[in-house]
Amino acid sequence: MTYREQLRDRRWIIKRTKILTRDNLTCQNRNCRFRNDNEVLFDVHHLDYIPNTMAWDYPDDMLITLCTKCHEDEKLRPKEERYLLNTLRMKGFLLSDLLSFSSKLETSEMFVTLLLRILREFQNGKS
C-alpha cells in the first residue's frame, strides 16, 4: 500500500481525527501566525518516519497538528538538520555532546529560550 493510499484508509482517518482533537485543531508550531485561525486547514504531521510502519500505527506522541503552511515548511527540516549536524561534526561535537544537549533541551525552558535567541541572531547576521 502506498503512503498516499494509507492516508485515505479508514484507520488513518480515525487516527488523524484523534490527533486533531487532542491538539484542539490548533497548529502546534508556537511561532505560527495562523495558530488560532479558524479559516486555515490542518494536517497531522509525522515527526519522523519508521520503516515498514503504516501511517496509523505510529504512537500518538510522534504525531502533531500543523497548519498546511507549517506542514509545508517542515519538508525543509531534513535538509536543514543535515546541515546542522554536519556543521556540529566539523566543529568537533561528538554523540555524547548531542545527547547531553538534547537532555538540556527537555528540561530547561530558559536554556531553550537563550538558544533560540542566539540562533535567530546568527540567522539574521548579528553574530
What is the per-residue pLDDT across 4-18, written as a single tens digit (0 to 9) for each? 999 999 999 999 999
At 75-100, the pLDDT tens digits run 877 777 778 778 888 888 887 877 77
Average pLDDT, the chain: 84
Q: Over the range 22-40, which residues count as b (16 or more CB within 10 Å of their CB) and which as e?
A: ebeebbbbeebebeeeeeb
At 37-51, the pLDDT tens digits run 677 899 999 988 888
- Report the distance separating Cα 5 and Cα 17, nearest Å: 17
Confidence check: pLDDT of 124 > 70: no
Residues above pLDDT 90, as percent of the chain: 40
- Report the distance separating Cα 11 and Cα 55, nearest Å: 9
pTM over 0.75: no
- Residue 56, Cβ neighbours under 10 Å: how many? 17
Q: Which residue has the cell 540562533?
A: 119
Q: How far from 75 is each of 19, 29, 110, CA to CA, in Å?
A: 20, 14, 28
Higher pLDDT, residue 44 or 118: 44
